[in-house]
Amino acid sequence: MPDDAVKWIPRPQDMVAMNTEELRETFLVEDIFAAGELRCVFTALDRLVVGGAMPLTPLQLPNHEKTGRAFFLERRELGAINIGGPGAVQVDGKSFSLGRLDCVYVPMGTRRVVFESANPKNPAQFYFLSCPAHAAHPAAVMKESDATAAALGTQANANRRTIHRYIHEGGIPSCQLVMGFTELAEGSVWNSFPPHTHDRRAEIYFYFDLGENILVHLMGAPTQTRHLVVGNQQVVLSPPWSIHCGCGTGNYRFIWGMAGENQRFEDMDGVVPTGLR
């Protein structure tokens, strides 16, 4: 966890003048996973931390000076979704088994978090988000089959997708964190369209299961849009003032996560597509 692993977020008017490399440096995390490593990046988006753990042997979540606390989750909470082989997360000595696309919630006050793979030849890949917290909720696991699922979009508009909600109102309770994933049906390529913003919370997207496909992620203020070309297992940071939607060259999945004043999933401000510039 390098000391300089921080993403600072500019103002909307500053983003307008940024070139491609500056946009990528500021809003994109390209290498969140590496075999045998735990990587994470601190962001200025509601102090969210985004990370990936790919254990070949057990990996313990270390503390970092930027938490300002005695241990990483002293005043934070964490959610993780496994996108790899079977694994487990140890939460202060209690083991939670996670298959592919299962989710674990780790509360504020947890002193020791350890990520493990059941088989190092088929390692687990734990994508995680952490945000500040002021209250502790019970540690919990939710299987993919138990997540709240909602079907949206149409095949005619190439945006037929299913949203799976894990950490949210009505699901695993948390202090601020909201987390789940969306999967697009075969033949659909657009996500989160029509686009939206939400001033009361930031959002982070992690695109995966793209294979060799690419995706164009749209961002920026609705009247000053920009884009990033994104590959498999890459992360995009989305400020509250920015739209966030994308179009791929094939179907894919993405994990979304938020932290802010309102945990209600539907809290968003819609943008009329014809008003985009």
Residue 120 pLDDT class (50, 70, 90 cuts)? very high
Decide: 46 and 201 in contact? Cβ < 8 Å.
yes
User: How much is the pLDDT for 273?
Assistant: 85
Nearest to 78 by CA among 131, 125, 37, 126: 131
Nearest to 88 by CA among 104, 66, 109: 104
User: How much is the pLDDT for 200?
Assistant: 72
User: How much is the pLDDT for 263?
Assistant: 67
Does residue 130 sit within a domain?
A: yes
Does residue 275 sit within a domain?
A: no
The structure tokens listed for 75 are 């005043």
CA distance 113 to 220: 35
Q: Whole-prediction pTM value?
A: 0.95
User: How much is the pLDDT for 193?
Assistant: 86
As a whole number, mean pLDDT of residues 31-35 equals 97
Residue 1 pLDDT class (50, 70, 90 cuts)? very low
Tell me the CATH number at 101.
Answer: 2.60.120.10
As a whole number, mean pLDDT of residues 51-60 equals 98
Does residue 34 sit within a domain?
A: yes
The rounded Cα 130 to chain-centroid distance in angstroms is 10
Does residue 272 sit within a domain?
A: no
User: How much is the pLDDT for 265?
Assistant: 66
Percentage, residues of the chain above pLDDT 70: 96
Does residue 271 sit within a domain?
A: no
Phi-psi region of 92 (alpha: psi -120 to 50; beta: other; left: phi over 0): left
CA distance 66 to 224: 33
As a whole number, mean pLDDT of residues 65-80 equals 97
The H or E element that residue 42 is part of is: strand 38-43
User: How much is the pLDDT for 253?
Assistant: 98
CA distance 101 to 141: 11
As a whole number, mean pLDDT of residues 90-114 equals 98
Does residue 230 sit within a domain?
A: yes
Does residue 46 sit within a domain?
A: yes
Task: Count the domains in the chain.
Answer: 1
Nearest to 163 by CA among 181, 186, 145: 181
Structural domain harbouring 83: 6-262
pLDDT tens figures, 193-220: 888 787 777 899 999 999 999 999 999 9
As a whole number, mean pLDDT of residues 218-235 equals 96
- As a whole number, the mean pLDDT across the chain is 94
